[in-house]
Amino acid sequence: MKQLKKVFAFGDSILKGAVLEDGPRVKYTLLQKGFLEQCKEALGIELVNHARFGSTIATGRTVFDRHVSSMQPEDIALLEFGGNDCDFPWVKVGKNPDYPKVPHTPLSEFSKFYAGLIRDCRERGIIPVMLSLPPLVSRRFYHFVTRDLTKGEKVSVLNWMGNVIEFISNWHIQYNLEIFHLSRTLDVPLINLSTPFLIRPDFSAYICRDGIHPNAFGHRLMAEAVLAQWPFER
């Protein structure tokens, strides 16, 4: 294979390297060396990170279209989506017990958008590589996203979930499984970021107090996973 030119990363705040600081305030900061920066140094690659906070697959597509003119054939598009797509507007859920169980991006749309992005990469000679999702900690995530709701609204959210807090991680798992499915059916290289967490007896030690963003230790796990599974010659 020819020497790879650049890696362009598209995804959300996990790919960006965001972590939630400890303390009473909700404040996200960027790690000085998130897992992508660690991989950049270890692999000796050029990396351009276009990840954005809150990005869904639709947002990612917009960002991709904005920057694709700067990419060349045989550049790599590193893709990480799904964590925001499977999420719900929790404040609206708390205020409306009859809110439909429709996430930000329904699964069928997520799959269609993702497949389209992969197709467009290949049509331009760009090599897509997918990342699976780190797991989330349901109970921690529930308490975090309902922190500003009233007691009654928190109860409404819990009732809406069928009094099963794992409802949150179940939705997350659906989207992660779809990522694996797309990788297999479209023959796209995939780097598994899920298993390195799940094999730990308590993977929550690697996740921030919001229940979803890996902390600095989690980023080290992800860096090790990328380096171990990097699908190109080094």
Whichever domain contains 130, its CATH number is 3.40.50.1110
How many domains does the chain contain in total? Answer: 1
**Residue 1 pLDDT exceeds 90:** no
In terms of pTM, does the model score above 0.85?
A: yes
What is the residue-averaged pLDDT of the chain? 95
Whether 26 is in a domain gets the answer yes
Whether 156 is in a domain gets the answer no
DSSP per-residue codes, 91-117: HHHHH-TT--S--SS-HHHHHHHHHHH
Higher pLDDT among residues 25 and 148, named by residue = 148
Reported as a single tens digit per residue, the pLDDT across 171-216 is 999 999 999 999 999 999 999 999 999 999 999 999 999 999 999 9
**Residue 129 pLDDT exceeds 90:** yes
**Residue 148 pLDDT exceeds 90:** yes
Whether 43 is in a domain gets the answer yes
**Residue 69 pLDDT exceeds 80:** yes
**Residue 28 pLDDT exceeds 60:** yes
3-state secondary structure of 55: coil
Average pLDDT over residues 82-94: 96
Distances (CA, A) of 129 to 76, 167, 184, 193, 219: 7, 29, 12, 13, 18
**Residue 83: domain span:** 7-87+106-135+179-229
Gap between the Cα atoms of 87 and 167, Å rounded: 11
The pLDDT assigned to 10 comes to: 98
Whether 114 is in a domain gets the answer yes
Instruction: Indicate if the alpha-carbon torsion angle 93, 97, 99, 102 is positive or negative.
Output: positive
Instruction: Sort strands 18-20 and 76-80 into parallel, antiparallel or unpaired.
Output: unpaired
Whether 163 is in a domain gets the answer no
The pLDDT assigned to 36 comes to: 96
pLDDT confidence tier of residue 162, bands split at 50, 70 and 90: very high
Gap between the Cα atoms of 218 and 83, Å rounded: 16
Average pLDDT over residues 79-97: 96
Whether 31 and 19 have beta carbons less than 8 Å apart is answered as: yes
